[in-house]
């Protein structure tokens, strides 16, 4: 029983069951605390196998250069059964706008399908729901997200799948805190994190900085600010590269993608400024925000297309 339930606060608890039907823990939706049996908690040696302990979640770093982690493996139609395994976090690009995420629950090589637990839009309505479904593997690019060895060790497949199964049927979708990516990330490591939302917040903050100077109608100033932001991100990437947190290929991808994003974002910020000028300060602000976000998304998509083809 959760601590807040003992205080008399009724709430929903997501119970975890392993593949054999054994209870292995739960997650309290009110206090946001996960509790697991001792076999899934490090440094605990208890003979009472049914007792649960609060689990301290790991700290995940924000990489604002990417909407998805740069450490990932491309999954193709001919080798997906060799690359994927149950409990994997996978992602694929939709409409050049956002990345969809889910948790693999099973692989069927004969039928070229994978079992997926993820958020879906039910019949094109405004209702979102976490479901299990079998998805046909196609030639469209799909990626398996990599996690560190420590995260993988502390979050074995049974826990990952138990977390995912506990949410099936849930309709409490929240764009900024409980979307498809934060769901998949929580299943993998016990922390709900959406890099796409982190990227969007960073982009808007950056665009507001541009807005403060764009009134000078100086494209050079906007480009200069974009360059400063790029240098800041690359400096952080260099530090991560030296510390062994990212590979050489990851660093190269950060560099090239950030250049594409920065160039298109700068140009569309200025276009947004000129389009919004007839509508006054509010029109300029909206034009700059839309131009900057669209430029960032299009720049990222352009690099994805070039890299794939």
Task: Looking at the structure, tell me whether residues 175 and 236 fall in a common domain.
Answer: no
Whether residue 196 lies inside any domain: the answer is: no
The CATH code of the domain that includes 100 is 2.30.30.30
In sequence order, what DSSP letters do the residues of 182-200 get, joined into one string? HHHHHHHHS----HHHHHH
Domain co-membership, 114 together with 174: yes
Mean pLDDT of the chain: 77
Answer yes or no: do 182 and 88 share one domain.
Answer: yes
Burial class (CB in 10 A: 0-12, 13-18, 19+), 129: middle
Domain assignment of residue 202, yes or no: no
Is 96 domain-assigned?
yes
What pLDDT score was predicted for residue 138?
84
CA-wise closest residue to 176 among 200, 207, 155: 200
Same-domain pairing of 161 and 233: no
Which of 92, 71, 64, 91 lies closest to 251 in space, CA to CA?
71
In a shared domain, residues 169 and 245: no
CA-to-CA distance for 120 and 236, rounded, in angstroms?
A: 35
Neighbours of 290 (CB within 10 A): 17
Same domain, 127 and 180: yes
Provide the token pair at 54.
Answer: 């609060």
Q: Are residues 20 and 80 in the same domain?
A: no
Residue 285 domain-assigned? Answer: yes
What is the DSSP track for the chain? --HHHHTT----EEEEE-TTS-EEEEEETTT--EEEEGGGSTT---S-TT-EEE-PPPPPPP-TT-SS-S-EEEE-TTTHHHH--TT-EEEEEETTTEEEEEEEEEEETTTTEEEEEEEEEGGGSS-EEEEEEEEE--SS-EEEEP--HHHHHHS-HHHHHHHHHHTTT----BTTTBSHHHHHHHHHHS----HHHHHHHHHHHHHHHHHHHHTT--HHHHHHHHHHHHHHHHHHHHHHHHTTSS-HHHHHHHHHHHHHHHHHHHHHHHHHHHHHGGGHHHHHHHHHHHHHHHHHHHHHHHHHHHHH-
Q: Provide the residue-wise pLDDT of the chain in tens; the chain has 309 residues.
A: 566 655 545 568 899 999 999 999 999 988 889 999 988 886 666 655 568 888 887 766 655 444 455 578 889 888 899 999 999 999 988 765 678 999 999 999 999 999 999 999 887 667 899 999 999 998 778 899 988 888 899 999 999 999 999 999 999 899 888 999 999 999 999 988 887 777 667 766 666 665 555 554 554 555 566 666 667 666 776 776 677 666 666 667 666 666 666 666 766 666 776 777 777 766 766 776 676 667 666 666 655 655 555
Query: Would you say residue 78 lies in a domain?
Result: yes
Is 65 part of any domain?
A: no
Instruction: State whether 185 and 133 are in the same domain.
Output: yes
In a domain, 208, yes or no: no
Q: 230 and 171: one domain?
A: no
Task: Give how far Cα 295 sits from Cα of 97, 213, 262, Å.
Answer: 11, 18, 8
pLDDT of residue 61: 61
* 67: in domain: no
pLDDT at 64: 47
Cα gap 194→12, rounded to integer Å: 23
Q: Are residues 13 and 120 in the same domain?
A: no
Among 159, 191, 223, identify where a domain stops. Answer: 191
Of 224, 208, 195, residue with least CA distance to 284: 208
The predicted model scores a pTM of: 0.73
**In total, how many domains does the chain have?**
3
pLDDT at 30: 84
Bridge partners (DSSP) of residue 142 are 75
In which domain, by residue range, is 179 found?
A: 72-191
User: Domain check: are 42 and 84 in the same one?
Assistant: no
Rounded-to-integer distance, Cα 184 and Cα 300, Å: 22
Residues 82 and 182 both lie in one domain: yes
């Amino acid at each position: 029983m959760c601590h807040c339930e003992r205080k008399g606060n009724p709430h929903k608890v997501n119970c975890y069951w392993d593949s054999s039907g054994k209870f292995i823990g739960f997650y309290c939706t009110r206090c946001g605390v996960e509790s697991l049996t001792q076999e899934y908690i490090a440094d605990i040696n208890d003979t009472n196998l049914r007792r649960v302990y609060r689990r301290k979640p790991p700290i995940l770093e924000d990489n604002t250069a990417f909407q998805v982690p740069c450490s990932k493996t491309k999954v193709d139609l001919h080798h997906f059964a060799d690359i994927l395994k149950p409990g994997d976090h996978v992602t694929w690009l939709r409409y050049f706008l956002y990345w969809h995420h889910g948790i693999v629950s099973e692989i069927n090589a004969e039928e070229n399908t994978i079992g997926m637990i993820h958020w879906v839009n039910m019949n094109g309505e405004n209702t979102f729901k976490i479901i299990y479904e079998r998805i046909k593997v196609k030639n469209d690019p799909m990626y398996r997200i990599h996690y560190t060895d420590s995260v993988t060790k502390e979050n074995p497949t049974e826990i990952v799948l138990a977390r995912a199964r506990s949410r099936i049927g849930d309709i409490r979708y929240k764009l900024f805190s409980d979307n498809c990516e934060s769901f998949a990330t929580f299943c993998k490591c016990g922390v709900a994190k959406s890099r796409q939302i982190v990227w969007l917040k960073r982009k808007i903050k950056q665009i507001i900085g541009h807005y403060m100077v764009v009134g000078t109608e100086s494209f050079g100033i906007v480009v200069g600010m974009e360059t400063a932001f790029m240098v800041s991100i690359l400096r952080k990437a260099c530090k991560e590269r030296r510390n062994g947190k990212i590979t050489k290929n990851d660093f190269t991808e950060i560099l090239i993608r950030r250049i594409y994003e920065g160039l298109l974002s700068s140009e569309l910020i200025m276009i947004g400024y000129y389009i919004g000028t007839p509508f006054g300060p509010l029109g300029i602000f909206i034009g700059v925000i839309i131009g900057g976000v669209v430029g960032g998304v299009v720049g990222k998509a352009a690099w994805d297309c070039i890299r794939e083809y």
